[in-house]
Structure 1
Amino acid sequence: MEHVLRQCLIALRLAERAGISEADRVSVYYTALLVNVGCHSDAHEQAKWFGDDIALKQDKYTYGLHPGVAGALATVRRFGAGGDGLMGRFRLGLEFVVSGHRDLAEMVSHHAAMARRIGVGLGLPEDTLGALGAAYEMWDGHGWPGELAQEQIPVAARLAMIGEFVEVAHRVGGVAAARQLLRSGRGKQFDPDLARLLDDEAELLLSELDMVDAWDAVIGSEPALEIVLTDDELDEALLAIADFVDLKSPYSLGHARAVAELVAGAAERLSLTEADQRTLRRAALMHCYGKLGVSNAILDKSGPLTPGERERLHMVPYLTHRMLRQSPSLRPIGDLAVQFGERLDGSGYPHGLASPALSPSARVLAAAHLYQSLREPRPQREGLTATSAAAHLRAEVRAGRVDGLAAQAVLSAAGHRASRRVQGPAGLTPREVDVLRLLARGLTNKQIADRLVVSRKTVANHVEHIYAKLDVSTRTAAALFATRHGLLAPAPDGNA
């Protein structure tokens, strides 16, 4: 946790001590923050070879950027991604020797290229883009893509490289471990002058890293505060990042973009305020950021998930919320995004919220995420047709898990013809919802009939159908259902 924030602080402290100009420190700042942003983009391949792409990243700091075949095979043996038993792991190891090690080398170059690409999408300056593209070059010329060496490597890239590896060494083993790393990598992986300077002043430059609030410290350390986004520019940046995050798994490509389009159309149909529409669309773009914290061994697993794996998958919205809550401006978006897996009956995740706690925007986001997920392929199945996905979503409405109005708005935004009757939870019709609302308040059939201007026989029929659909036999049980599903709000005309 906070590895990138801390490595940015180390790089900035070293840059200032080395007398790097303020203009160059801007490049150091963004390069250090984005140097590893592409590491998830081939997580599917990483999981293929090593079983757990997240655990693999730890080995990067054990073996270095040149793990060699022996180190990589040790990782394969450790995770046993090739199947059950010794023979499965042996076959995978042999395949790695033949072709996999080339994939690993290409991955590192690919990470740098992808970091540069996201920098372009965010509109960063050209010198920062150059540093990002050279982020894995080494002083001795044996880095990736292996085109630059020594002073040819942008100083921002050299500083980011030192900050990244020293942060881990210091966090694991303190100043002594950081110094040992600097001395072993000096003139090889690291700029010798910068490595020597940090070695000499490690006590000062690495002091209090564990004591500061890393988020606030990094925000406060931006050298020039040059990049300020308008609302429209922020939307473009969030879209670029969303597309990038969705590269985590081949089964989720374009997911956030598609969900954002669905909620935008649904929100307009539901006449949400302009502010709510913008927040909802941003939440849709950001709602799956947390999958970066879940291994592709789970995301891309072809067989059934274990209870533990399913629980880890349900951590996605929680991790998204933890990411966004640190920023005052993004926190309201995170508060909405975290609810995409919640259900009206309280059976969702991560918090098991029920209907009264779910806003109209949250209900739209949940319906859009579910519909789009059904349309996408998964390791266990092909993507559903639009008709099948719509039928599944409507079934969730009848089961009382998804809001009927939100689902209908999403389906309309997806191009489905509007249903003649918008059903509520458990398949209740709008008129049955009106009757249930009054029944739950304790009104008699006669009072309900007078209020709704219908006959008592009609009310009696509605009550009978309501009890049957809810599988209850008493008013209190029906009232509890209405409470849990947020059906007690007054009707729009004020009659109920």
Structure 2
Amino acid sequence: MRVTLGAQGARTSRVRLAELLGMLSLATDLGLGQSMEHVLRQCLIALRLAGRMGMDAAGREVVYYTSLLAWVGCHVDAYEQAKWFGDDTALKEDFRQTDFATAVSGPLFMLRHVGAGRGLPERVRIGAAFMTDGRRAGEAMLRNHWLAADHLAEQLGLGQPVRDGIEQTFERWDGNGVPKGASRQEILLASRLVNLADVVEFFHRTGGTQAAVAVARERRGTQFDPAVVDAFVEDAAALFADLDCVDCWEAVVAAEPALSVQLTDAQFEAALEAIADFTDVKSPFTLGHSRAVADLAGQAARVYGLDDAESTAVRRAGLVHDIGRLGVPNTIWDKAGPLTRAEVERIRLHPYWTDRALACSPALASLAAIAVQHHERLDGSGYPRGLSGGVLTPQGRILAAADFYRARTEPRPHRPACTAAEAAAQLTAEAKAGRMDGDAVAAVLGAAGHRATRRPAWPGGLTRREVQVLRLLARGLSNGEIAEQLVISRKTVSHHVEHIYAKTGTANRAMAGLYAVRHGLMDDA
């Protein structure tokens, strides 16, 4: 099994599939109610156990990719989970602590959680409804999770052996699992290993090696393959050795079977789009939001005057800007009434979780730096860090404006969607109040098709960004100083200077400065 590569000679993104899946696993942890790196640690345990059981390279490859993707679909029906069971992350956290070994285990687990967080009368009403519609929805959830993860694996170019491994992740040795009730040797060894590793990682982290061994023994012959349990118990201490000390991210990325595989630009773009869709499906109110924000922000970046590379980075950051939403329960996202202070604080963390997930990968860190700013504001009133003024980059300001505009044109539980004109008016008001960057707002509104309120064109075909660079160049700043002041790269400044000289018919700072004076460009643009 390998990722299907593009045409020979296609531009590579320098992003490895392992980094992308590792980032996605960190976001998955949030949706599972687990501490970040649960899936990474589970992957390492499963790989170590696979090695001790003598699995060949092909088998270990299936273990690797199955481990990272098996649980990624667990948020796709978070809306229904919250509707019936309250906090969807708490529900999934408790899932690992239950052995569904008998016919009544599943129904009892669900009844224990039905209406959680509601008052007694409401719990009774929801419990009664659950016995009909809710029970069918509950039984379909694990199947939904597998189907969603399988679809994402297909979109990411992963082969059938991995997809088969993902399908059987929720199967049980005793045949009481889903989706097909497979049992014993019908279940792939890779799936049996991942199933065990997921549970014992949780018990080891919360109770130590002794707790992990105990739960494996308790579920031997029910949830888990006895042979896999025996191999685990025999070597448990070694399997967990240094797990708390090792850099799990580095260890998992280094363990990738296909070390030479790098995604092409087109594959990377397609993968980010798939992840965007996967993020948005957490709530019916955000379906399509990330793609729409990304497209608008990318177009606005070009209107703003950023070059192609910077505009592409803005769009890509837009695709993953909301991945941290997976860490906030749907009882909060889908709440129609006012939020409590505690609920607001949880929402304010989601850009931070986005940053945490992306920044672990050197190849994705540049997107993290943009994405984390999408709720920051110029006056310091935003979140998660309350950044202000010059600390906010042009890319971050554009993404924040695009996210604000798109969110207002979409319905939310507490309000209907605004018209495009209403959203534009609200965004303009943010700029006038000093919370949003005026140039970023103008670029977003222009990209969204609203009539431009700024001058239609600069002399010589200069862009707004080129005028900014020209003004600083004319005042004698070096390329490095211009880059620092405008928060862009020196390479980008160099490109802008070349374009300025070409468009103005000049060849040096003095003549370019004279051109600027003659055309009234030295005032703030």
Shorter chain as normaliser: what TM range? Answer: 0.7 to 0.9
Return structure 1 stretches of 4+ with deviation > 6 angstroms: none
> Does the alignment pair 1:61 with 2:99?
no
Taking the aligned partners of 2:196 and 2:56, their CA distance within structure 1 comes to: 18
Instruction: Report if aligned partners of 2:314, 2:370 keep a CA contact under 8 Å in 1.
Output: yes
Q: What is residue 388 of structure 1 aligned with on the other side? A: 422
> Does the alignment pair 1:72 with 2:110?
yes
Taking the aligned partners of 1:401 and 1:64, their CA distance within structure 2 comes to: 51
Instruction: Report if aligned partners of 1:266, 1:406 keep a CA contact under 8 Å in 2.
Output: yes
Counterpart mapping for 1:143-162 below 5 A: 143-162=177-196
Taking the aligned partners of 1:189 and 1:70, their CA distance within structure 2 comes to: 17
User: In the TM superposition, what is the alpha-carbon distance from 1:226 to its structure 2 partner?
Assistant: 5.4
User: In the TM superposition, what is the alpha-carbon distance from 1:120 to its structure 2 partner?
Assistant: 0.7
> Does the alignment pair 1:47 with 2:82?
yes
User: In the TM superposition, what is the alpha-carbon distance from 1:146 to its structure 2 partner?
Assistant: 2.3
Q: What is residue 59 of structure 2 aligned with on the other side? A: 24
Q: What is residue 474 of structure 2 aligned with on the other side? A: none
Q: What is residue 493 of structure 1 aligned with on the other side? A: 521
Taking the aligned partners of 1:89 and 1:350, their CA distance within structure 2 comes to: 35
Instruction: Report if aligned partners of 1:239, 1:257 keep a CA contact under 8 Å in 2.
Output: yes
Equivalent in 413, 427, 435 of residue 447 of structure 2: 413
> Does the alignment pair 1:33 with 2:33?
no
Instruction: Report if aligned partners of 2:200, 2:212 keep a CA contact under 8 Å in 1.
Output: yes
> Does the alignment pair 1:305 with 2:339?
yes
**TM-score scaled by structure 2?**
0.78
User: In the TM superposition, what is the alpha-carbon distance from 1:397 to its structure 2 partner?
Assistant: 1.5
**Cα gap change, 1:492/1:328 in structure 2, threshold over 3 Å: closer, same or farther?**
farther
User: In the TM superposition, what is the alpha-carbon distance from 1:420 to its structure 2 partner?
Assistant: 5.2
Q: What is residue 327 of structure 1 aligned with on the other side? A: 361
**Cα gap change, 1:495/1:266 in structure 2, threshold over 3 Å: closer, same or farther?**
closer
Q: What is residue 4 of structure 1 aligned with on the other side? A: 39
**Cα gap change, 1:120/1:365 in structure 2, threshold over 3 Å: closer, same or farther?**
same
Q: What is residue 291 of structure 2 aligned with on the other side? A: 257
Which structure would you say has the larger RCO, counting Cα contacts within 8 Å and 6 or more residues apart?
Answer: 2
1:274 partner amino acid: D
User: In the TM superposition, what is the alpha-carbon distance from 1:300 to its structure 2 partner?
Assistant: 0.5
Q: What is residue 110 of structure 1 aligned with on the other side? A: 144
**TM-score scaled by structure 1?**
0.82
Q: What is residue 480 of structure 1 aligned with on the other side? A: none
Q: What is residue 315 of structure 2 aligned with on the other side? A: 281
Tell which structure's C-alpha radius of gyration is larger: 1
Instruction: Report if aligned partners of 1:131, 1:154 keep a CA contact under 8 Å in 2.
Output: yes
User: In the TM superposition, what is the alpha-carbon distance from 1:55 to its structure 2 partner?
Assistant: 0.9
Question: What secondary structure, in the 3-state scheme, does the structure 2 residue paired with 1:250 have?
Answer: coil
Q: What is residue 207 of structure 2 aligned with on the other side? A: 173
Equivalent in 358, 362, 368 of residue 392 of structure 2: 358
Instruction: Report if aligned partners of 2:99, 2:223 keep a CA contact under 8 Å in 1.
Output: no
Question: What secondary structure, in the 3-state scheme, does the structure 2 residue paired with 1:419 have?
Answer: coil
Counterpart mapping for 1:184-333 below 5 A: 184-225=218-259, 227-333=261-367
Taking the aligned partners of 1:208 and 1:317, their CA distance within structure 2 comes to: 31
Kindly provide the CA deviation profile for residues 123-167 of structure 1, in whole angstroms up to 9, marking residues without a partner as x. 111110111122211122211112422222222211111111111
Identical aligned residues as a percent: 48
Question: What secondary structure, in the 3-state scheme, does the structure 1 residue paired with 2:97 have?
Answer: helix
> Does the alignment pair 1:122 with 2:159?
no
2:325 partner amino acid: K
User: In the TM superposition, what is the alpha-carbon distance from 1:97 to its structure 2 partner?
Assistant: 2.5
2:349 partner amino acid: M
Question: What secondary structure, in the 3-state scheme, does the structure 1 residue paired with 2:285 have?
Answer: helix
Taking the aligned partners of 2:340 and 2:41, their CA distance within structure 1 comes to: 35
Q: What is residue 91 of structure 1 aligned with on the other side? A: 125
Question: What secondary structure, in the 3-state scheme, does the structure 2 residue paired with 1:229 have?
Answer: strand
Instruction: Report if aligned partners of 1:408, 1:418 keep a CA contact under 8 Å in 2.
Output: yes
Instruction: Report if aligned partners of 1:259, 1:285 keep a CA contact under 8 Å in 2.
Output: yes
The size of the alignment, in residue pairs, is: 428
1:76 partner amino acid: V
Instruction: Report if aligned partners of 2:79, 2:283 keep a CA contact under 8 Å in 1.
Output: yes
Gaps of 5+ in 1: 423-429, 438-489
Gaps of 5+ in 2: 1-34, 457-463, 472-516
User: In the TM superposition, what is the alpha-carbon distance from 1:170 to its structure 2 partner?
Assistant: 1.3
User: In the TM superposition, what is the alpha-carbon distance from 1:495 to its structure 2 partner?
Assistant: 5.3
**Cα gap change, 1:420/1:174 in structure 2, threshold over 3 Å: closer, same or farther?**
closer
Taking the aligned partners of 1:418 and 1:256, their CA distance within structure 2 comes to: 25
Equivalent in 390, 406, 409 of residue 375 of structure 1: 409
Kindly provide the CA deviation profile for residues 310-332 of structure 1, in whole angstroms up to 9, marking residues without a partner as x. 11111110111111111111111
Return 175-184 or 160-169, whichever deviates more. Answer: 175-184
Taking the aligned partners of 1:333 and 1:226, their CA distance within structure 2 comes to: 23
Kindly provide the CA deviation profile for residues 386-434 of structure 1, in whole angstroms up to 9, marking residues without a partner as x. 1111111111111111122211211222222222569xxxxxxx9xxx9
Instruction: Report if aligned partners of 1:22, 1:224 keep a CA contact under 8 Å in 2.
Output: no
Q: What is residue 460 of structure 1 aligned with on the other side? A: none
Instruction: Report if aligned partners of 2:64, 2:256 keep a CA contact under 8 Å in 1.
Output: yes
